[in-house]
A and B are shown apart, each in its own frame.
Chain A
Amino acid sequence: MGKITFIEHDGTEHVVEFEAGASLMQVAVNNAVPGIDADCGGECACGTCHVILAQEWFAKTGTPGPDEEQMLSMTPERAESSRLGCQVQTTEAMDGMTVRLPEFQM
């Protein structure tokens, strides 16, 4: 059990508890964090769970796969440390991580 902070585009912070193993998207969704739609439920099929990680955390989550990269390349507000939340599996090491949410999902 650890904590992740989601920050909406307007600066509103949501500090939520998570258990390692769930996807980052699932952690946000289970806690009703706004700004992440996750329409397809986590199948990397819709591109609506775009999150932007703090740079120092980005390296710790692995790199986007080829499909994810194609999806990300078209999301509004794409940043260097962008991921699709459904493709990031949380680990114990992510305790304290900060995640920014874009203003608009795809």
Chain B
Amino acid sequence: MRRSSLAAGTLLTTLIQKQWPHEAVLISDEPLPPYQRPPLSKDYLAGKTARESLYLRPHSMYENAGHRLRLGERVERIDRVNKTVELSDQSTLGYDRLVLATGARVRRLNAPGADLEGIHYLRDIADTDALRSQLSPGQRLVIVGGGYIGLEVAAIAVKGGLKVTVLEAAGRVMQRVTGPEISAFFLAKHRDAGEEVRLDTSVIGFEADDDGHVAGVAVADGSTVPVDVVLVAVGITPETALAESAGLPCDDGILVDEYVRSGDPAILAIGDCTRHRNVFFEQPQRMESVANAVDQARTAAATLMGDDKPYDAVPWFWSNQYDVRLQMVGLSKDHDERVVRGNPRDGAFAVFYMREGHLVAVDAVNLPIAFMVGKKLVYQHRDVDAEALSDPDIELKSLV
């Protein structure tokens, strides 16, 4: 296994719980045991969570169960013929089964000045520590990208007394993952809190001061936004280089079947790095989420134990911004009808996304019951009465 990822940690834990009788070795280039990444752009950045509390399990739990963590080491090469991996210290390690949990890396901006000092990205603990050290009251922070990460950081920075500008290239925030009602609600939330959020605004470059530190962000309309700190949060790219060099089929993600087996049955792949089969979707999906990482890890554990269970998890997501918790289940992108329950002005509402009469996704804003009901209804793939979903006199629970 590779990378201190949630997927790798969950797989190891599941194997321990199921008393898998073999030894696992986790090889990670990060010098830390597997940890939770979601708090990095939330409580950990805000300084409310200690580093150790991010660890999925205590380091000792894995070793007490007879498994080894080789941290701070990299897998350089996979030799599929001899079933060995070559590590950064030139040693080799044999395997019967290999699991790739290589995750994803941040997408970098390819604009002039993008490597100036003061321009940050956020993917791991080290990135977050570096950014946090720069978030002092009164500083001007420009965030490139109005997605989950950009908006979560924006909210924390505003609360920390920074002056925040969000530059989003698309016509609405979180456009890739949600519908217009949710985007409009969060746009208003962020603007009301004092952020400047500019939509349809592409970054074309960065300007430096005399010390080579970023001082301005140039945008497509010709203007420049003066800045002290920049965060670029424009998505991630699956980390497939190792798999590709081993000749495993990849297509914007390591291709795996519904048992998370790659093109080589001795090699599994799980988490953000995969493009996978899910019995729920006609097309292979790539899913950037905690839920997918842990659910695929459990599928991998089943496959390793010869108890094959096809992957059938419904994707879900969440985000915390200011006093709002957004919980999402399913994929809304191909919906043909939207139903809103509640009123966004009350600060608690939900959007139900339908396709051909089925509920395919729910986005719930401060309304956990809608998320929980959605989790069941989407999984059951049942026809749902759209009118009942929006009728405040009908309890959501009664629809399950």
**What is the interface of chain A, defined by CB distance below 8 A to chain B?**
26, 29-32, 34, 37, 39-41, 43-47, 67, 70-71, 73-75, 106
A30 contacts B61, C-beta separation under 8 Å: yes
**Stretch in B120-128, B240-248, B330-338, B368-376 with 4+ CB within 8 Å of A:** B368-376
How many B residues have CB within 8 A of the partner chain?
Answer: 32
Residues of A within 8 A of B366 (CB): 67
The secondary structure that dominates the A interface is loop
Q: How far is the CB of B254 from chain A (nearest CB, A)?
A: 22
Residue among B18, B316, B400 making CB contact with A46, cutoff 8 Å: B316
> Contact at B397–A30, with CB atoms within 8 Å?
no
A70 and B38 within 8 A (CB): no
Interface positions, chain B 348-379, Cβ under 8 Å from A, are 366-369, 372-373, 375-376
- B311-325: CB near A (< 8 Å → 1, else 0) gives 000001010100001
CB pair A43 B318 closer than 8 Å: yes
**Residue from the list A30, A41, A70, A75 in contact with B36, Cβ < 8 A:** A41
Nearest A residue to B326 via CB reads A45
Not counting A40-B38, A74-B400, a sample of 19 additional A-B residue pairs whose C-beta atoms are within 8 angstroms of each other reads A26-B53, A29-B57, A32-B61, A39-B290, A40-B318, A41-B290, A43-B38, A46-B316, A46-B318, A47-B368, A47-B372, A47-B375, A67-B325, A67-B366, A70-B369, A71-B368, A73-B397, A74-B372, A74-B375
Interface of B toward A, CB cutoff 8 Å: 13, 16-18, 36, 38-39, 42, 53, 56-58, 61, 65, 290-291, 294, 316, 318, 320, 325, 327, 366-369, 372-373, 375-376, 397, 400
- Shortest C-beta distance, B62 to chain A (Å), equals 9
Query: Are A106 and B375 interface neighbours, CB within 8 A?
Result: yes
Nearest A residue to B366 via CB reads A67
Q: Once the chains are docked, how many angstroms separate the CA of A31 from the CA of B39?
A: 22
Look across to chain A and name the residue whose beta carbon is closest to the beta carbon of B320: A43
Expressed in whole angstroms, the Cα–Cα distance for A45 and B316 within the complex equals 10
A-B contact pairs, 27 of them (CB 8 A): A29-B56, A30-B58, A32-B61, A34-B17, A39-B290, A39-B294, A40-B38, A41-B56, A41-B290, A43-B39, A43-B320, A44-B368, A45-B325, A46-B291, A46-B318, A47-B368, A47-B372, A47-B375, A67-B366, A70-B367, A70-B368, A70-B369, A70-B372, A73-B372, A73-B397, A75-B372, A106-B375
Q: Hey, which chain B residues are within 8 Å of A75, CB to CB?
A: 372
Q: Within the assembled complex, what's the spacing in Å between the Cα atoms of A67 and B42?
A: 19
Q: Are A32 and B57 in contact (CB under 8 A)?
A: yes
Distance, CA A46 to CA B315, complexed state (A): 11
Tell me which residues across on chain B come within 8 A of A71, comparing CB atoms: 368-369, 372
Task: Write out the residue numbers on chain B whose beta carbons fall within 8 Å of the beta carbon of A73.
Answer: 369, 372, 397
Interface centre among B18, B36, B53, B368 (most CB of A within 10 A): B368
**Cα–Cα distance between A71 and B372 once the two chains are bound (Å):** 6
Cross-interface CB contact of A32 among B13, B318, B376, cutoff 8 Å: B13
Task: Knowing A70-B369, A73-B369 are in contact, say whether A45-B17 is a contact too (CB < 8 A).
Answer: no
A29 to B368, CA, bound (A): 23
**Which residues of the other chain, A, contact B61 by a CB distance below 8 angstroms?**
30-32
CB-CB under 8 A from B325, the residues of chain A are: 45, 67
Of chain A, the residue at the smallest CB distance from B53 is A26
Among A26, A31, A37, A67, contact of B368 (Cβ-Cβ < 8 Å): A67
Looking across the interface, which residue of chain A has its beta carbon closest to that of B17?
A34
A45: which of B58, B327, B369, B376 is its contact (CB, 8 Å)? Answer: B327
For the complex formed, measure the closest distance between the CB of B242 and the CB atoms of chain A, giving whole angstroms. 27
B348 to A: closest C-beta gap in Å:
10
A74 near B369 with CB under 8 A, answer yes
